[in-house]
Chains A and B, each alone.
Chain A
Amino acid sequence: MSEKVIEVQDLVKVYKDVTAVDKISFDVYQGEIFSLVGPNGAGKTTTVEILECLRNPTEGDAKVLGFDVRKDEKEIKKRIGVMPQEFNAFERLTVKENVELIAKIYGVKPDIENILRELGVWEAKNRQFHKLSGGMQRRVGICMALASDPELLFLDEPTTGLDPQARKETWEVIRTLKKMGKTVFLTSHYMEEVERLCDRAGVMVKGKLIATDKIRNLISKYGGGIKVSVEGRNIEKAEKMLKSFTEKVLHEKNTVIGKFKTREEASKALAQLYQLSDGYKIEITEGGMDDVFSQLTGGRVDDRGELI
């Protein structure tokens, strides 16, 4: 496995009477897209802001690019790129002016045209920030985070509040970052987003990190396996056959559902099923991060990020 760029050990953050982050530990590796995923109030932003040196940890340790968040604030800030939650720039400055401002603060002279072109905002370079759409604003935010050519980017809820189209476009931008060789740390409450975009994720609820792993592993462990549903006449034949592969078979009217733990098991059953096919309608569904989340927490997260 490649080099660790973030190391978090038993991190705790307490606000007055609320424990926002409750002893969490995880690592992020170079070049990956990592996400903390969970509902609002889970402690994702607090964690990110501790790593960005915008908050002080109460207990525990966190290292970013090898630097301690408590002691090496300057070194960390110099090396990371940040897009805060509900990000805003100077509203009356143009896209280009905002990116230039950040570059000047870092004391660097990046190829701004290249950055703006890469992220598709070059055409809007002379427009004032407040006149842009939400999706464009996020892109500009990412351009600003890229201005200092950081190796690590923190994007806090980069697609919250965007329409589905803009969200997908933002995913493309984030994939571009990965191609550029950047490590991306993001937070999200959209399970689909994490599943499609990230390499690894940590599931966070009420300040606790319940599971951290590759997306693939999370789904196969907690995704509820593979569902094969068969619909048609003479459904009993199919039911009998499925039962010879798995114990989990449900029969509802003219539909039979068989659940398999792994893809291998499912594929064996499917092979037989197609042989005896009697005009069956077969549907295969694999679990996703939604299932992982409900398996782990017993709840779900709605579109606004609320736990239900």
Chain B
Amino acid sequence: MRSIIPVFTALIKGWLRTKTGIFFSFLFPLMLLLLFGTIFGGTGTQKYTLFIQNFDLEDGKQTELSEAFINALESTNIFEIRKLDPEIDINTYVKENPSFEYNYRILKIPKGFEKKLYEKSMTIRLNIILSTFSDFEKYSGSMNPDDLKAMREGKEKLTQLMENLPASESVELIFLAEENDMSAMAVEGIIESVINAFNNRLIGVEEQAMTITAEPLAEKNMTPGDYYLPGYIAAFIMTNGVIGATATISELRRNGTVKRLAATPLSKSSWILSNILQQTTLAFMLTAVMVIFGWIIFDVHALPNIYAILLIFMGAVTFSSIGMILGGVIKDVEAASGAGNAIAFPMMFLSGAFWPIEMMPGYLQTIAKFLPLYYFHEGLRSIMIMDNPSGASLSFLIMGVLAVVFIVIATKVTRWKEL
């Protein structure tokens, strides 16, 4: 057992001095993290550009109400609002500014916006009062006769007032967007909800009967990068073990280093443990690099806690044992690497480490649930994102059992004699 540390040190040093090893263990995963992170995650919250052309001017200034509406749109924090001079003819502007074409979403606020809104909302309010009086009349049985009389007089006066008001019409905003703009519908939806809220305020509804609040999945403030990081960590610990350990072991076997060590008092179990210790160290180094990288580039907040570290340890043992089995059984280096790739790559993509498993067809989802990586990254996600280690108990159970099973198989198939 005292030999484990020296052999482990030799393996680590050997690895650190191999440029291809470092590339495939660290740089390659980082490149993929950058690539996938940019494609799926995006860097922070997306803002939509919205051009507003306000025709509702009074002495060259925006009317109070149209300005309030624009402020309401801005307060959603979803739009990056740019104002377009009402003098501009939009068709000409698009032609003159080619770059503008790609995201031209224009909201036109018509002339008379403020005036019409006041009139219309007045009419609506009066209508509401009238219809409320009518409702009261229907259920007037319990009402004091004096009150009823006063209410009927009021209703008559209001009806007279209504008749004197000019006929009001709704304000029509115009939203222009390009046909192929996939986000236009989302933008339109958001504008509509702002309009609804605005309408409610105008008719004096301050209190809302029904509300919806969007809350993040966990207590922490998460970015899309947070969601993907545990998946990447899990996937690359897997590839390091299944591809990296396989290649290392079969090469050391081919070139006779294993035979040299077997001829010393070093025991087979010490050899296996040294290799697993090396892979585990690499796994933690990789985790650290990914977390730091994710923090710098994607503003990721997830940090592995003690549970995550335990699960990472189990994953590293499981997958490096698989590597030791492949490298121990298959003598030809090329064939061993091929087998490692053939196992690692499908597992990487099928397990849902890189994208939500729900995106895949049903039968692939079933396959995923037979893959150790699935339980590894699901567990890691549950711990690192949901902050819910108990949600990872199935992962702990499965990874724990697999770690033991594979380490036993690795011990059985690793030859220390008849090499």
Contact = CB atoms under 8 A, between A and B. Distances in A.
A78 B257 contact: no
Interface in A69-108: 74, 77-78, 80, 82, 84-93, 97, 100-102, 104-107
Contacts of B6: 100-101, 104-105
A250 interface: no
Contacts of A86: 256
Nearest to B2: A107
Interface stretch (A30-38, A50-58, A224-232): A50-58
Contacts of B260: 82, 84, 87-89, 144
B418 A105 contact: no
A52 B259 CA distance: 11
Contact of B264 (A85, A90, A97, A105): A105
Contacts of A25: none
B170 interface: no
B217 interface: no
Interface stretch (B13-21, B207-215, B220-228, B313-321): B13-21
A85 B6 CA distance: 24
A89 B13 CA distance: 13
A52 B17 CA distance: 31
B18 A92 contact: yes
B417 interface: yes
B262 interface: yes
Given A54-B417, A56-B418, A106-B265, A101 B10 contact: yes
Interface string B12-52: 01110110000000000000000000000000000000000
**Residue with the highest number of chain A CB atoms closer than 10 Å, among B14, B264, B266:** B264
Interface residues of B, number: 24
B14 A91 contact: yes
A72 to B, nearest CB: 12
Nearest to A128: B17
Contacts of B14: 90-93
B255 interface: yes
Interface string A40-69: 000000000000111110000000000000
B257 A105 contact: no
A105 B17 CA distance: 22
Interface string B251-273: 00001110111111110000000
A84 B18 contact: no
Given A92-B18, A93-B14, A97-B10, A55 B417 contact: yes
Contacts of B10: 90, 93, 97, 101
Contacts of A78: 265
A104 B10 CA distance: 11
Given A55-B417, A55-B418, A102 B264 contact: yes
B77 interface: no
B7 A101 contact: yes
B256 A87 contact: yes
Contacts of A104: 2-3, 6
Contacts of A56: 417-418
Nearest to A148: B264
Contact of B263 (A82, A100, A128): A82
B254 to A, nearest CB: 9
Contacts of A89: 257, 260
Contacts of A54: 259, 262-263, 417-419
Interface of A: 52-56, 74, 77-78, 80, 82, 84-93, 97, 100-102, 104-107, 128, 144, 148
14 contacts: A52-B263, A54-B419, A82-B263, A84-B260, A85-B256, A88-B256, A89-B257, A90-B13, A91-B14, A92-B13, A92-B15, A93-B14, A101-B10, A105-B264
